[in-house]
């Protein structure tokens, strides 16, 4: 066999490990999220001005600009933010790439242009409703492009957590539904309640945004290191689909009872979701792993606080919505409380929870290691609480209390504080300095490090290849689990050339790899991996393929040496 053929064979063997995928959709995610946040600031500022005017402050701009407020919040902030995150998150869920980055930018451009028209609707009265018609058409086309990409991704057989797939699909279908209803309304067909009827708001907040959040929570509950309940997650998807269908049919057929049934079904879906992610099981034993540091515990507490607050607003807002539809009242302040409980309380608190955990990884940075603050979530919830309490007092007093005007500035302050906090998220992890004095250093100091690097030599060409790996430490040994078990390419190379280099936190160890298929040891090491990385990560990455353990014995501490020559990553 020629040397070139041998090199090709070795390359194929090493390539059995998953490759690092270049993600051009990251720029699309950043652009969409940033634009959505910009629309959120504009919409929130307009809403704050209007509330201040209702509370008695002499502000004339509030009422004139307010018509664009709901458009910018739903079709601008929520739509663009969710779409932007989806463009990076869904390919990760399905272990692949975005079907077309060009179509992603096309959908972004269409939705952004639609919101510019919605803003012009307020800035250019009085004959400006034609801008709503133009925006509605652009929104419908953009949401249809987005749906086409979601369908391609969700129908891929790869990726786990099938319970989340229906929720992901329902989210994008709901966006098309509300865009279609807006087109129908702007064309002159008067729907019950106008362009922002209770049904429209339900489909936007509970259908579009709610379905995607439920899917993310099912897949990301590993932040809390627990397994979700599959039956409850499946029930959530079923109830969510039935509820969305009933609400949409109710508004098209002008059936109030059918819309009410849909609202009750969506309430049931929300409760099923909270049961599925074990929202009330705080700090249960599965949370505590031997490798957890103070940073991990702070992340855990931060997640718990945000998720509990978001869940409280989800339940209370859903109940308010059911009462709203059941009584048939059109009182502005009941509607206002429902919208803000869901849009700011539930969605805002959930974004505050997950954005610091998900966005850094989606954009190619490290996760949170410093900078997490409870300030933004506290101020945000204070603002929405003032809003809802003021709305309910208004129902009795017939006029908003002056102090309710504080709600808008508090929400804006929370948004600004959160963005400042996010600037400090994703900084490179500061690893504690390892002592270069051999008698003071032990391998046990590496237990809290999440990822190391392994350098091996290919079987025939003896070419060095370095890739990231997960590991656990036991006494003077480092254990590895090949992700595809004994069929993994790098494992087959190590079986022929056992000399390896292990890099952990910048310290290089040179040793000889030893492997075993002894079931008892494989199970014991797998249990150690579960303790360190969590059940769900191990199930997702190793599953039942783990049939071999590779161990490297480190007989004595060694001083730092130059890092190995880094080849292509094949981890």
pLDDT of residue 339: 86
Structure tokens at 73: 């919040």
Distance CA 474, CA 552 (A): 10
* Domain identity same for 279 and 296: no
pLDDT of residue 533: 76
Give the containing element (helix H, strand E) for 263: helix 256-276
Structure tokens at 363: 């954009």
Per-residue pLDDT averaged across 516-531, rounded?
Answer: 88
Per-residue pLDDT averaged across 518-528, rounded?
Answer: 89
pLDDT of residue 268: 96
Q: Evaluate whether 36 touches 84 at the Cβ level (below 8 Å).
A: yes
**Portion of the chain with pLDDT greater than 90, in percent:** 26
Per-residue pLDDT averaged across 208-236, rounded?
Answer: 81
Q: Indicate whether 15 belongs to any domain.
A: no
* Domain identity same for 352 and 464: no
* Domain identity same for 54 and 129: yes
| Count of CB atoms situated within 10 Å of the CB of 396 | 7
* Domain identity same for 281 and 296: no
Q: Evaluate whether 233 touches 185 at the Cβ level (below 8 Å).
A: no
CA 79 to chain centre: 14
pLDDT of residue 44: 81
210-220 vs 349-362: helix axis angle to the nearest 10? 60
Number of H helices, E strands in the chain: 20, 7
Distance CA 414, CA 258 (A): 38
* Domain identity same for 180 and 273: yes
Alpha helices in 467-556 (DSSP H): 489-496, 519-533, 535-541
Domain that includes residue 244, residue range = 173-288
pLDDT of residue 331: 67
* Domain identity same for 537 and 491: yes
The mean pLDDT of the chain is: 79
pLDDT of residue 107: 95
pLDDT of residue 195: 67
Q: Indicate whether 564 belongs to any domain.
A: no
Q: Is the pLDDT of residue 400 over 80?
A: no
**Range name among 416-420, 443-447, 489-493 with the lowest pLDDT average:** 443-447
- The 3-state DSSP composition of the chain as helix, strand, coil percent (nearest 5) reads 65, 5, 25
CA distances 495 to 187, 464, 473, Å, are 70, 15, 21
* Domain identity same for 45 and 98: yes
Q: Evaluate whether 350 touches 302 at the Cβ level (below 8 Å).
A: no
| Count of CB atoms situated within 10 Å of the CB of 490 | 27
DSSP string covering 171-183: HHHHHHHHHHHHH
Cβ-count burial 109-128 (b if 16+ within 10 Å, e if not): ebbbebbebbbbbbeeeeee
424 upstream amide cis, omega within 30 of 0: no
Q: Indicate whether 148 belongs to any domain.
A: yes
Structure tokens at 567: 């080849």
Among candidate residues 317, 182, 173, 314, the one with its CA nearest the CA of residue 245 = 173
Distance CA 6, CA 454 (A): 22
Distance CA 162, CA 211 (A): 14
Structural domain count of the chain: 4
Distance CA 559, CA 141 (A): 61
pLDDT band per the 50, 70, 90 thresholds, residue 13: very low
pLDDT band per the 50, 70, 90 thresholds, residue 364: low
If one compares 203 and 228, the residue with the highest pLDDT of the two is 203
Beta strand segments in 193-237, E: none
**Range name among 74-78, 152-156, 260-264, 562-566 with the lowest pLDDT average:** 562-566
pLDDT of residue 439: 39
Q: Indicate whether 566 belongs to any domain.
A: no
Per-residue pLDDT averaged across 239-263, rounded?
Answer: 91
Distance CA 405, CA 416 (A): 18
Q: Could you give phi then psi for residue 549, rounded to 5 degrees?
A: -120, 135
pLDDT tens per residue, range 448-459: 677 788 888 876
- What's the sign of the alpha-carbon dihedral 221, 206, 23, 144? positive
Task: Pick the last residue of a domain from 421, 454, 474.
Answer: 421
> What value, to the nearest 5°, has the Cα angle with vertex 190 and ends 185 and 193?
90
pLDDT of residue 136: 92
3-class DSSP assignment, residue 269 = helix
DSSP string covering 66-103: GGGHHHIIIIIIIHHHHHHHHHHHHHHHTTS--S-HHH
pLDDT band per the 50, 70, 90 thresholds, residue 11: very low
Q: Indicate whether 433 belongs to any domain.
A: no
pLDDT of residue 237: 94
Per-residue pLDDT averaged across 288-301, rounded?
Answer: 66
* Domain identity same for 44 and 146: yes
Structure tokens at 266: 């969506």
Cβ-count burial 439-471 (b if 16+ within 10 Å, e if not): eebbbebbbbbeebbbbbbbbbeebebbbebbb
Q: Indicate whether 18 belongs to any domain.
A: no
pLDDT of residue 187: 81
**Range name among 115-119, 121-125, 518-522, 533-537 with the lowest pLDDT average:** 533-537
Q: Is the pLDDT of residue 80 over 80?
A: yes
Task: Pick the last residue of a domain from 94, 126, 159.
Answer: 159
pLDDT of residue 286: 39
| Count of CB atoms situated within 10 Å of the CB of 417 | 17
| Count of CB atoms situated within 10 Å of the CB of 240 | 28
Q: Is the pLDDT of residue 232 over 70?
A: yes
3-class DSSP assignment, residue 199 = helix
DSSP code, position 193: T
Q: Is the pLDDT of residue 558 over 70?
A: no
pLDDT of residue 206: 92
pLDDT tens per residue, range 469-512: 888 888 888 999 988 888 888 888 888 888 888 888 777 888 88
Q: Is the pLDDT of residue 560 over 80?
A: no
Per-residue pLDDT averaged across 292-309, rounded?
Answer: 80
pLDDT of residue 536: 64
* Domain identity same for 392 and 326: yes
pLDDT of residue 190: 74
* Domain identity same for 304 and 340: yes
Q: Is the pLDDT of residue 265 over 80?
A: yes
Per-residue pLDDT averaged across 273-295, rounded?
Answer: 64
101-123 vs 25-54: helix axis angle to the nearest 10? 20
- What's the sign of the alpha-carbon dihedral 20, 25, 29, 31? positive
Q: Indicate whether 510 belongs to any domain.
A: yes
pLDDT band per the 50, 70, 90 thresholds, residue 114: very high
Among candidate residues 254, 387, 267, the one with its CA nearest the CA of residue 320 = 267
Cα-Cα-Cα-Cα torsion 477, 483, 484, 486, nearest 10 degrees, comes to -10
DSSP code, position 570: -
3-class DSSP assignment, residue 488 = coil
pLDDT of residue 217: 85
**Portion of the chain with pLDDT greater than 70, in percent:** 77
Q: Indicate whether 152 belongs to any domain.
A: yes
Distance CA 311, CA 360 (A): 24
* Domain identity same for 313 and 330: yes
Q: Is the pLDDT of residue 410 over 60?
A: yes
Which of 68-77, 136-145, 269-278, 561-570 ranks highest by mean pLDDT? 136-145
Distance CA 121, CA 135 (A): 10
Task: Pick the last residue of a domain from 127, 159, 191.
Answer: 159
Q: Evaluate whether 29 touches 389 at the Cβ level (below 8 Å).
A: no
Give the containing element (helix H, strand E) for 145: helix 129-154
* Domain identity same for 213 and 122: no
Would you give the end-to-end CA distance of the chain in angstroms? Answer: 28
């Amino acid at each position: 066999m020629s040397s070139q053929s041998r090199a090709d064979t070795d390359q194929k063997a090493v390539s059995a490990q998953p490759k690092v995928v270049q993600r051009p959709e990251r720029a699309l995610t950043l652009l969409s999220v940033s634009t959505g946040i910009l629309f959120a600031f504009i919409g929130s500022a307009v809403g704050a001005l209007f509330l201040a005017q209702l509370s008695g402050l002499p502000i004339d701009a509030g009422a004139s600009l307010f018509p664009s407020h709901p458009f910018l919040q739903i079709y601008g902030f929520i739509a663009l933010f969710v779409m932007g995150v989806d463009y990076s998150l869904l390919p990760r869920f399905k272990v692949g790439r975005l079907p077309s980055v060009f179509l992603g930018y096309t959908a972004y451009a269409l939705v952004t242009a639609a919101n510019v028209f919605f803003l012009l609707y307020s800035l250019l009265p009085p004959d400006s409703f034609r801008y709503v018609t133009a925006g509605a058409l652009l929104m419908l086309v953009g949401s249809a492009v987005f749906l086409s990409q979601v369908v391609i991704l969700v129908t891929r057989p790869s990726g786990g957590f099938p319970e989340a797939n229906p929720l992901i699909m329902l989210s994008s279908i709901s966006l098309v539904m509300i865009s279609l209803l807006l087109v129908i309304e702007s064309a002159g067909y008067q729907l019950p309640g106008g362009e922002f009827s209770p049904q429209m708001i339900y489909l936007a907040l509970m259908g579009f945004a709610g379905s995607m959040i439920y899917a993310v929570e099912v897949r990301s509950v590993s932040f809390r290191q627990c397994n979700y309940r599959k039956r409850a997650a499946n029930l959530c998807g079923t109830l969510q689909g039935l509820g969305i269908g009933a609400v949409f049919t109710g508004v098209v057929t002008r059936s109030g009872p059918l819309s009410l049934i849909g609202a009750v079904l969506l309430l049931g879906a929300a409760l099923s979701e909270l049961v599925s992610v074990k929202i009330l099981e705080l700090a249960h034993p599965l949370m505590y792993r031997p490798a957890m540091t103070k940073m991990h515990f702070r992340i855990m507490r931060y997640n718990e606080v945000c998720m509990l607050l978001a869940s409280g607003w989800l339940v209370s807002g859903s109940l308010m919505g059911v009462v709203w539809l059941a009584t048939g009242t059109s009182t502005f302040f009941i509607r206002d409380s429902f919208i803000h409980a869901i849009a700011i309380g539930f969605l805002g608190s959930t974004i505050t929870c997950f954005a610091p955990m998900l966005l850094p990884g989606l954009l190619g940075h490290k996760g949170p290691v410093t900078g997490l603050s409870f300030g933004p979530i506290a101020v945000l919830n204070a603002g929405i609480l003032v809003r809802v309490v003021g709305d309910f007092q208004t129902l009795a007093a017939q006029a908003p209390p002056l102090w309710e005007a504080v709600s808008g500035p508090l929400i804006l302050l929370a948004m600004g504080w959160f963005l400042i906090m996010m600037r400090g998220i994703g900084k490179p992890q500061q690893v504690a300095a390892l002592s270069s004095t051999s008698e003071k250093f032990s391998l046990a100091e590496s237990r809290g490090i999440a990822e190391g690097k392994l350098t091996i030599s290919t079987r025939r060409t003896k070419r060095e290849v370095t890739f990231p790996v997960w590991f656990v430490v036991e006494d003077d040994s480092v254990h590895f689990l090949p992700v595809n078990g004994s069929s993994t390419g790098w494992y087959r190379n190590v079986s022929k050339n056992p000399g390896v280099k292990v890099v952990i936190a910048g310290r290089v160890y040179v040793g000889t790899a030893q492997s075993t298929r002894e079931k008892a040891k494989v199970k014991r090491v797998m249990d150690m991996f579960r303790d360190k990385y969590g059940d769900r990560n191990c199930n997702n990455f190793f599953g039942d393929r783990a049939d071999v353990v590779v161990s490297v014995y480190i007989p004595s501490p060694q001083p730092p040496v130059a890092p190995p020559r880094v080849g292509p990553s094949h981890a």
